[in-house]
Amino acid sequence: SKTPVRVAVTGAAGQIGYALLFRIASGEMLGKDQPVILQLLEIPDEKAQNALKGVIMELEDCAFPLLAGVEAHSDPLQAFKDTDYALLVGARPRGPGMERADLLAANAQIFTAQGKALNAVASRNVKVLVVGNPANTNAYIAMKSAPDLPAKNFTAMLRLDHNRAASQLAAKTGTKVGDIKKLTVWGNHSPTMYADYRFATTNGQSIKDLVNDQVWNADTFLPTVGKRGAAIIAARGLSSAASAANAAIDHMRDWALGSNGEWVTMGVPSNGEYGIPAGVVFGFPVTTAGGEYKIVEGLEIDAFSQERINITLAELQGEQDGVKHLL
Ligand code: NAX
């Protein structure tokens, strides 16, 4: 049987962690034949460490045949040791009265430290997914703090936005979500992201032609997808957790095992594609194979799309400028 791989998860005692770890341990992320060792990180706080112990007891009680080990850590240098995959879920949430700049600074501190730790001890091929918000900027910070690792190994989660868009389009066209192809979400994981169905098909038919309603696109579809996170908080009293964990599984599974030619959306550092400045961690359409992703190039960007891309890019560059002095 295969050698176990090491999977580090931060914020492991949080609500996304609770929806994520059991699925990784059951083989849904890396395959039903791939044993995993979970290296879990939480803050040193006693309550968080106790909660983590409880989660580990439950992992043990699932008796997952693929779970080859579980470790609890409070130091990223230990949690990231030799890790092949790192899911950075834990982040500093915005507290009452906290300004955006304070939030960026608090997260810059976390992701600088975690990027340095990855740089020092992780596998040289580690695949990093940042879920904790602001996800794109946190991924950028970690990437900049890990100069000895390939920049392309640092990614941010746009997959929840992608999946939300797919679900809305399936409902609108009366087709199955699994039949939707060539959808993408450009930009920042924030309400400014641009979900783009101009190239998308369902059962091979153009979704743009089926919908044929630019007013619905601009006034209903984009706001619904962009504000879906807020709608879930309003309904549930808690932010999306199971769907976020599911998107993280989708992102890592496709990156590791391949998308079979299908497009998926990943937040990845630009190499200048579509005029996005190099290094900006931006949502792009990608295909994946052999453990690598490739940005889909050559798509036509019309005036409406360019305007939306400019808005989300400007927001991201503002965030990036806001942390530059901390890196
Ligand atoms: P929770 O507050 O339930 O859990 C977060 C956990 O992270 C806590 O247990 C906390 O102790 C831990 N933590 C904080 N700082 C840490 C550090 N430096 N090292 C290790 N652990 C640390 O939040 P949850 O609902 O699980 O959400 C986690 C993050 O995901 C948040 O930042 C949230 O904004 C973000 N999200 C990102 C999404 C995306 O699509 N990219 C969607 C869902 C989610 O909102």
Mapped onto helix, strand or coil, the DSSP state of residue 192 is coil
For residues 188 and 312, give the distance between their C-alpha atoms in angstroms, rounded to a whole number. 6
> Nearest residue CA, atom 39 of ligand 1?
131
Number of the ligand 1 atom closest to the C-alpha atom of 18:
26
Is the separation of the CB atoms in 73 and 79 below 8 Å?
yes
**Residue 254 confidence (pLDDT):** 98
Query: Is any atom of ligand 1 closer than 6 Å to the C-beta of 244?
Result: yes
Cβ neighbors of 80 (< 8 A, separation 6 or more) are 8, 39, 41, 86, 114, 117, 118, 120, 121, 122, 126
**Residue 162 confidence (pLDDT):** 98
- List the pLDDT tens digit at each of the 327 positions of the chain: 899 999 999 999 999 999 999 999 999 999 999 999 999 999 999 999 999 999 999 999 999 999 999 999 999 999 999 999 999 999 988 878 888 788 889 999 999 999 999 999 999 999 999 999 999 999 999 999 999 999 999 999 999 999 999 999 999 999 999 999 999 999 999 999 999 999 999 999 999 999 999 999 999 999 999 999 999 999 999 999 999 999 999 999 999 999 999 999 999 999 999 999 999 999 999 999 999 999 999 999 999 999 999 999 999 999 999 898 888
Query: Is any atom of ligand 1 closer than 6 Å to the C-beta of 267?
Result: no
Query: For a substitution probing ligand 1, which of 21, 43, 157 has the most ligand atoms within 8 Å of its CB?
Result: 43
Amino acid at 305: S
Number of the ligand 1 atom closest to the C-alpha atom of 159:
40
Cβ neighbors of 57 (< 8 A, separation 6 or more) are none
Q: Which residues are annotated as a binding site for substrate?
A: 94, 100, 133, 164
* pTM above threshold 0.90: yes
Q: Which residues are annotated as a binding site?
A: 11-17, 94, 100, 107, 114, 131-133, 164
Q: Which residues are annotated as a binding site for NAD(+)?
A: 11-17, 107, 114, 131-133
What residues are annotated to the active site? Answer: 189
Nearest alpha carbon to residue 281 among 265, 267, 297: 267
**Residue 101 confidence (pLDDT):** 81
**Residue 26 confidence (pLDDT):** 98
CA of 228 to the centre of ligand 1 (A): 18
Nearest alpha carbon to residue 153 among 201, 115, 106: 115
